[in-house]
Amino acid sequence: MNEDAMRQHRERFLDLAVLVLLALVVAAFFWPLLFAGQWIPRGGGDLVSFLWPLYRFGARSLRAGVVPLWNPHLYSGAPFVADNQSGLFYPINLLTFALFGEPSYSVMEGLTVFHIWLAGANMFFLARGLGLRRPAALFGGIAFALSDLFLTHIGNLNLNATAAWLPLLLLLTHRALNEGRATWAAGAGAVLAIAALAGHGQILLFLALALVIYFLYRLTADWRRGWRYELRTLSLAGLIVAVGVSGAALTLLPSWEMAAHTGRGHLPYDEATRYSLSPRALIGLLSPGFYGRGVEGFWGSWERVEVGYAGVTTLVLAVLGVWPTTSKIRHQRLALGYFFVTLVPLAFALAMGRHTPLYGLLYRYAPTFDQVRAPARLILLADLSLAALAAYGLDHLLRPRRSSETSEVWIGLAALAAGALLLTVGLPQAQAVPPDRVQQASASIIAAAALLALSGLLVWLAGRFRWAACLLPLLLAADMIGLGSTLEAEPNDPTLGFLHEDVAAFVRQNGELSRIEATIGNWQPDAALVHGLYDIGGVYNPLGLAPYQAYRWAVGERGAPLYNLLSVKYVLAGKGDLPGGEQMVPVYTDNPQIDVYLNTAALPRAFLVYRSQIVADHAAAWQAIHAPEFDPAQVVILEQGEPLVADPNDDKPRVSFTRYELNEVKLAVATPANALLVLSDVYYPGWQATVDGAPAELLRADYAFRAVPVPPGEHIVRMEFAPWPWRVGLTISIVTWLGLIVWGLASLCGRRFNCLIGRTFTTGHFQRRQNQLHRDVKDRII
């Protein structure tokens, strides 16, 4: 092994060692979970109530050899793959499913911890890719991984998983545009696709916004270099976006179709700017606990949001990262640093949402920004920039000193002065808060002042002794662990609402394909998904289908016709809490927390109706089903088709399920006259019907459900869910990933071939030189 190869191996080993050190810092942050037997997040959050059931269902389906395009277990049926929150094809999730099957809650917590580390590791790669020294890159990784967005959303695994890829996406994009290489652009596109597959549409939108801002920044920088450079930038940007969208098309296309059927098609501005960052909350950048941090401690007059805290030391070093007296060489390395300097104020202004006019421009003119809430989450871009600038600042401290440089002295003194000023101004403010919050606010101010003083002292020392700079990552780790490690940890098991196996077994034995409704908090809303039951509801999902949600919340009292159409056979209620009138009969009371009631008036899941009423549109259907005389057992409200009036005589029709799978339903039907087969599963584009193998019309029935016309006789009716966005998106994604694999292999083989040729020519030249020397010596001897 030559010297260059040995040096490369040594460099990789040292990088790996720093990543291990980063993992130890993250493990220390999660010490209540890893070493004290506690649980995260506090109260379980979305991790236990929403994502854990989704991941278990996805893993169970895939291991059974079925891609769950449809989820029949919740909300009376809903798309699954089209709901990007499912994260079904996210590579890390697929690997988890392969290794662990249906993940336990401990595995879900492990995924949470892993993605916090991944965010820091990708930030480390970004800093190293920009040429920064390892301690500086480690500092940036800690600051980003443990920043406020990740901590606030510790239970939003898919949010953190999407955000974790931002630094690597930016690094590959930067290299692609700097070097003009399509290979780097394809890599950036692949990372963008992976982030999209992680399953959080809003954070993906923010990643796309970061790319757009960076592209505009580069186009501005390239303007003086000529149109060829601008054209190259646009071409590579197009390649990144094309690969990213194509690689995730198998979920993006179905999600695009689904968006039109949810309540998120367009939000009013006041709703879209809910959870904006309040200007008063900006004190949280220095003192995150002033207004309380975490669900239990928050007392501000605005909605609790992330405030962008990334450590006091991070702010001090970020100022040093843009100090104007640094060397010319460092300014050249700060080509991307100028982008971060621009992004910090822009991100804060956007995160303030309704408090600044800037977000209104995005709402009006940027696609899909009128479909999401919580502008405060844009603080992600500010935290990324602060972490990067702080890494630049620490790198400045680590390089050899020149006697003319005094920036670290002034920054150190400024931090010390800021600490003193914070005590002078902040403590009187802390005394003016509500009495029960004085101690909390005062302690937060004192902690921030102490951290400012320590940071300033270490920066000043680093100006004289380089070793002092290496203590700054340690100070940051102590800061983030001390202020944040216990906020989202608790001793109570959040999974208890899934553990009522006896209730689930009773319903499975007696319920067939009928549905349940839970009216008690001791039963988790998505427990039906875990136990293989069928529920008319589920946990709140912002991407729920709007027609069904409207139907469900307007059914009237239990036992009303619209309620019975949902086929709710069993109602789960608290002990002794009668959930309805005399049609509700208790049938299982052995569970210490839950009683099960039988709804004797429930309609079957599928039944035949011999009369229909045709209405003009969807709004008219709503009016018709809420008419006092409407009886879903006797008449079907349709929005298309021909009116039906038939008489079954005295012959009893028969309907039975012969197959009920995730994406397919088969029923055996016998009817003496023309009829409509009504299935109280939600209607959605992509469902197709056949009768005895021949295509049949599948109609929207009773505003939200399905119906298929059936002629007299015995028939097999089949419904299959095969939406075209899924088929087209799957094809595009397969072609894209295969193309990327072939491209990558070709590039790797080409690089090895070039290295081999180079070594061959080098070896041949050396051998020819040696032979010539031997001949010269021989001639001299002779």
Given a cut of 80, is residue 363 above it in pLDDT?
yes
Is 23 exposed, middle or buried (CB count within 10 Å of its CB: 0-12, 13-18, 19+)? middle
Average per-residue pLDDT in the chain?
89
Confidence at 513, pLDDT banded by 50, 70, 90: confident
Q: Which residue in 114, 199, 269 sits closest to 541, CA to CA?
A: 199
Residue 153's contacts (CB-CB under 8 Å, 6 or more residues apart) are: 159, 160, 306
* DSSP-derived secondary structure letter, 401: P
Given a cut of 70, is residue 746 above it in pLDDT?
yes
What mean pLDDT comes out for the span 390-410? 78
What mean pLDDT comes out for the span 406-431? 85
What mean pLDDT comes out for the span 598-609? 94
Q: Which two tokens stand for residue 410?
A: 């002034």
Residues pairing with 677 in the sheet:
608, 708
Please report which residue ranges of 640-691 form alpha helices under DSSP H: none
326, containing H or E segment? none
C-alpha 299/C-alpha 277 separation (Å) is 15
Confidence at 772, pLDDT banded by 50, 70, 90: low
Is 546 exposed, middle or buried (CB count within 10 Å of its CB: 0-12, 13-18, 19+)? middle
Residues pairing with 718 in the sheet:
666, 690
Q: What share of the chain is helix, strand, coil (3-state, %, to 5)?
A: 60, 10, 30
Per-residue pLDDT tens over the stretch 202-218: 999 999 999 999 999 98
Given a cut of 70, is residue 660 above it in pLDDT?
yes
Confidence at 766, pLDDT banded by 50, 70, 90: very low
What mean pLDDT comes out for the span 97-104? 95
Structure confidence at residue 210 (pLDDT): 95
Confidence at 333, pLDDT banded by 50, 70, 90: very low
Structure confidence at residue 602 (pLDDT): 93
Residues pairing with 687 in the sheet:
721
Given a cut of 60, is residue 738 above it in pLDDT?
yes
> Rounded to whole angstroms, what are the CA distances from 603 to 285, 564, 647?
57, 5, 20
C-alpha 22/C-alpha 727 separation (Å) is 42
Per-residue pLDDT tens over the stretch 448-492: 999 999 999 998 888 788 888 889 999 999 999 999 999 999 999
Q: Is the CB of residue 498 less than 8 Å from the CB of residue 524?
A: yes
Q: Is the CB of residue 199 less than 8 Å from the CB of residue 87?
A: yes
Q: Which residue in 657, 603, 601 sits closest to 635, CA to CA?
A: 603
Structure confidence at residue 170 (pLDDT): 96
Choice among 43-47, 401-405, 707-711 with the minimum mean pLDDT: 401-405
Is 637 exposed, middle or buried (CB count within 10 Å of its CB: 0-12, 13-18, 19+)? buried
Given a cut of 80, is residue 651 above it in pLDDT?
no
What mean pLDDT comes out for the span 84-110? 95
**Range of 69-83, 301-315, 407-421 with top mean pLDDT:** 69-83
Residues pairing with 676 in the sheet:
609, 709
Choice among 207-221, 298-312, 405-419, 486-500 with the minimum mean pLDDT: 405-419
CB neighbours of residue 141 within 10 Å: 31
Per-residue pLDDT tens over the stretch 612-627: 999 999 999 999 999 9
* Tokens 């029960």, located at residue: 436
Q: Is the CB of residue 414 less than 8 Å from the CB of residue 403?
A: no
C-alpha 180/C-alpha 292 separation (Å) is 47
Given a cut of 60, is residue 296 above it in pLDDT?
yes
Residue 322's contacts (CB-CB under 8 Å, 6 or more residues apart) are: 334, 337, 341, 389, 392
Confidence at 755, pLDDT banded by 50, 70, 90: low
Per-residue pLDDT tens over the stretch 535-583: 999 998 888 999 999 999 999 899 899 999 999 999 999 998 888 888 8
Structure confidence at residue 264 (pLDDT): 73
Structure confidence at residue 222 (pLDDT): 76
What mean pLDDT comes out for the span 614-643? 93
Phi and psi, residue 344, nearest 5° = -60, -60
Residue 645's contacts (CB-CB under 8 Å, 6 or more residues apart) are: 610, 611, 612
Confidence at 753, pLDDT banded by 50, 70, 90: low
Could you give the dihedral angle defined by the CA atoms of residues 772, 775, 781 and 782, in that order, rounded to the nearest 10 degrees? Answer: -140
What mean pLDDT comes out for the span 388-416? 81
C-alpha 327/C-alpha 338 separation (Å) is 15
Per-residue pLDDT tens over the stretch 272-288: 999 999 999 999 999 99
Structure confidence at residue 405 (pLDDT): 59
Structure confidence at residue 754 (pLDDT): 56
614-624 per-residue burial string, b: 16 or more CB within 10 A, e: under 16: bbeeeeebbeb
C-alpha 697/C-alpha 709 separation (Å) is 7
C-alpha 506/C-alpha 510 separation (Å) is 6
